[in-house]
């Protein structure tokens, strides 16, 4: 039996950016049956914090995340990956976009402490970074975010990713078709789609064999695809 297409709640699928990547929205997405997606950056004190932007407002003043301690960032709702696992457990797939290339090993170590390394997916648009992380921790699963306008022929790109030990090619949902999904699968990769916002995109993803989709519209995608 073919497993259902995974649905990843993009930044927790928050209704607005002010509360994205926070424990409450992650809990809501999990209650709906979705898997989770977030972003990681390192704080000043070297902790992996789940936050998308490089700048973070502290008392309405935008300051670089790398200048702030994890405790200071927590005042605005940002959490570390350790706090994330402590609050939500590990019974789901977790995809993390490495916005700060230095955060990869810290994320891996936190997932290992939580016993969740086997359900962690690390995302980057840098193949060399993913290969480096895999060399240090072979068990980690790697997702290359591939924009077709930047990679040329997507079939050749998929072949290269397989040769470099990458696990997943993630592209805009509109760039996928049945032939490309088939080729990616024949290379031994999974095919992930971003960023679905309409019901017909979920239907099309299922029809052409996409393995997982990222979305801000969890309610539209669920139930059934967990």
What tens digit of pLDDT does each residue of 98-128 get?
999 999 999 999 999 999 999 999 999 999 9
Residue 3 is predicted with a pLDDT of: 66
Residue 116 is predicted with a pLDDT of: 97
Has residue 61 been placed in a domain? no
For residue 155, the tally of other CB atoms under 10 A from its CB is 14
Low-confidence ranges of the chain (pLDDT < 70): 1-3, 58, 148, 223-226
Has residue 71 been placed in a domain? no
Residue-range definition of the domain harbouring residue 209 = 6-52+78-221
- The pTM assigned to this predicted structure is 0.94
Has residue 87 been placed in a domain? yes
Has residue 43 been placed in a domain? yes
Q: How many domains does the chain have?
A: 1
Residue 1 is predicted with a pLDDT of: 39
Residue 226 is predicted with a pLDDT of: 52
Has residue 46 been placed in a domain? yes
Has residue 73 been placed in a domain? no
Has residue 67 been placed in a domain? no
Residue 200 is predicted with a pLDDT of: 94
The CATH number linked to 110 is: 3.20.20.190
């Amino acid at each position: 039996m073919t497993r259902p297409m995974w649905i990843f709640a993009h930044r927790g699928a928050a209704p607005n950016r002010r509360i994205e990547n926070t424990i409450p929205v992650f809990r809501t997405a999990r209650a709906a049956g979705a898997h989770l997606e977030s972003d990681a950056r390192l704080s000043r004190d070297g902790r992996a914090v789940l936050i998308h932007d490089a700048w973070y407002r502290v008392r309405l003043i935008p300051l670089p995340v790398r200048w702030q301690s994890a405790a200071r960032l927590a005042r605005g709702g940002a959490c570390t990956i350790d706090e994330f696992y402590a609050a939500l457990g590990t019974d789901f797939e977790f995809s993390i976009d490495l916005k700060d290339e230095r955060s990869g090993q810290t994320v891996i170590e936190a997932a290992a402490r939580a016993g969740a390394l086997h359900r962690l997916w690390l995302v980057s648009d840098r193949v060399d970074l993913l290969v480096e992380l895999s060399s240090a921790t072979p068990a980690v699963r790697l997702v290359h975010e591939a924009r077709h306008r930047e990679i040329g022929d997507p079939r050749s790109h998929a072949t290269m990713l397989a040769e470099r030990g990458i696990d997943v090619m993630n592209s805009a949902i509109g760039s996928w078709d049945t032939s490309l999904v088939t080729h990616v699968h024949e290379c031994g990769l999974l095919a992930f789609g971003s960023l679905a916002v309409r019901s017909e995109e979920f239907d099309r993803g299922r029809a052409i064999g996409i393995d997982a989709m990222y979305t801000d519209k969890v309610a539209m995608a669920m139930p059934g695809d967990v």
